[in-house]
Amino acid sequence: MSEALNLDGMLSSRRDITRFKVTEGSHIFRILPPFGTNHNNVPSRKIELHWGFTKKDGGLSPVLCSYPTEGFCPICAKVKELESLAATLLAQGNKEMADAALLLTQMDQAGADALRAQAQGNLDKSDATLKDAGRIKARRSYLLNAANKNGELGILEITKTAVDALVCLMKQYVNRYGKNPTSLTQGCWFVFNRTGKGYNTVYTVEFNKKMLTLDDGEQVEKVDTEALSPNIITNFDKLAYDIHKMYIPVSAVDLQKILAGAPVDEVIVKKPKEQAPAPVAAPVAVAPAAKPAVTLIIPASKPEVKVAAPKPVLAAPAPAVVPEADDLDDIMSILDG
């Protein structure tokens, strides 16, 4: 695998992205090596996205939470406010329900019905408020470059539970076989399972196993290390996604505007890539221009005589200024841009 920076991969946000999600059932994937900007040899990237906000065309668009970078996020603050309000309404509704039941024991049917209706209203408001909070609450997930058995390379998005299980298996693979589980040539395949729905959803990860027949006919299970598609191995640096460039960081100030109702793509505008400045020609020293010859006229009774002024002496040309070599950091900043 080439360790060189893949500049084409840095434009991954403009490519059609193949996404892998672990839906209900079992899915087999190979986790690919760390890749992209400042990956620090970590094959995944943790992101926290707020959903529930719209673009100018009405479509939904996620935005990155600003808390990890700024220590404050107005959307997270709003979520806490809504959750607190929902808890207050729930407590009030439950108390009113209890009071209604007490009125019934006192044979006050009308009072109990009125209080029960009021209680139900608070309980409904609590549910609605909690749903509003859940709609915009940050969702944490992890992005990884992965491949499936069809030879496709894409971005796998999984939960923290799945990541924790995956890390445990990777450590086992390293300890048992002494190999890198994300290696293009020596890695292994994993099975990602999802069962249940909603809050009852469960994610598990395990090694994909294959049956191996020994010389004596005995069959044993073996971790699946089937080779990747040759296309992925050969062109990994061109096919992989820079997962660290996929979502634009958003400031808390801009998130406040979005929270107030501004369309996401009106606040977050992707800047066009800056053009590298045109090279500036090196300055060249130029000798001063020679003054024109002067004709002197001497008034006298004698015939007019024209005397040519002496020719000026031209200064020797100054040596040309050689421009300094381009600074390497400036070159890389242009490429990174």
pLDDT one-digit tens code per residue, 293-332: 444 343 444 444 444 444 444 444 444 333 333 333 332 3
In angstroms, the CA 240 to CA 12 distance is: 8
- CA-CA distance, 272 to 69, in Å (whole number)? 24
Residue with token string 């070159």: 331
User: Is 122 contained in some domain?
Assistant: yes
CATH number for the domain that contains residue 215: 3.90.198
Range of the domain at 123: 74-136
Q: Are residues 157 and 118 in the same domain?
A: no
Please, is 192 exposed, middle or buried when counting C-beta atoms within 10 Å of its C-beta (0-12, 13-18, 19+)? buried
Burial of 242 (0-12, 13-18, 19+ CB in 10 A): buried
Q: Do the beta carbons of residue 147 and residue 33 sit within 8 Å?
A: no
Using CA of residue 113, residue 118, residue 124, residue 127, what is the dihedral sign?
negative
Asked if residue 284 is part of any domain, the answer here is no
State the Cα–Cα distance between residues 115 and 100, nearest whole angstrom: 6
- Same domain? For 300 and 158 the reply is no
What pLDDT does 104 receive? 87
Residue 333: φ, ψ to 5°: -65, -35
Q: Does the global pTM surpass 0.85? A: no
pLDDT of residue 74: 97
Q: Is residue 15 part of a domain?
A: yes
Q: Are residues 129 and 253 in the same domain?
A: no
- End position of a domain, from candidates 120, 136, 152: 136
Question: From CA 134, how far away is CA 313, in angstroms rounded?
Answer: 86
- 19-21/153-158 β-pairing: parallel
C-alpha atoms less than 13 angstroms from C-alpha of 14 in its C-beta half-sphere: 9
List Cα–Cα distances, 139 to 55, 66, 96, 136, in angstroms: 19, 13, 34, 9
pLDDT at residue 260, rounded to an integer:
95
Sheet strands (E) in 4-98: 19-21, 25-31, 44-54, 60-64
Q: How far apart are CA 21 and CA 156, in angstroms?
A: 6
CA R_g for the chain: 36
Do 17 and 96 have their domain in common? no
**pLDDT score of 199:** 79
Judgement on whether residues 184 and 41 belong to the same structural domain of the protein:
yes
A 10 A CB-CB count for 151 gives 11
Domain count along the chain: 3
Residues 212 and 64 in one domain: yes
Q: What is the pLDDT of residue 323?
A: 35
- 119 and 144 assigned to the same domain: no
pLDDT of residue 13: 45
Confidence at residue 294, expressed as pLDDT on a 0 to 100 scale: 41
Say yes or no: 50 and 172 in one domain. Answer: yes
What is the reported pLDDT for 305? 43
Separation of alpha carbons 80 and 67, rounded Å: 14
pLDDT < 70 positions in the chain:
1-15, 270-337
Considering the domain architecture, whether residues 39 and 109 belong to the same structural domain is answered as no
Q: How far is CA 142 from CA 50, 134, 149, 197, in A?
A: 14, 19, 21, 20
Of 136, 169, 189, the position where a domain reaches its end is 136
User: 307 and 244 in one domain?
Assistant: no
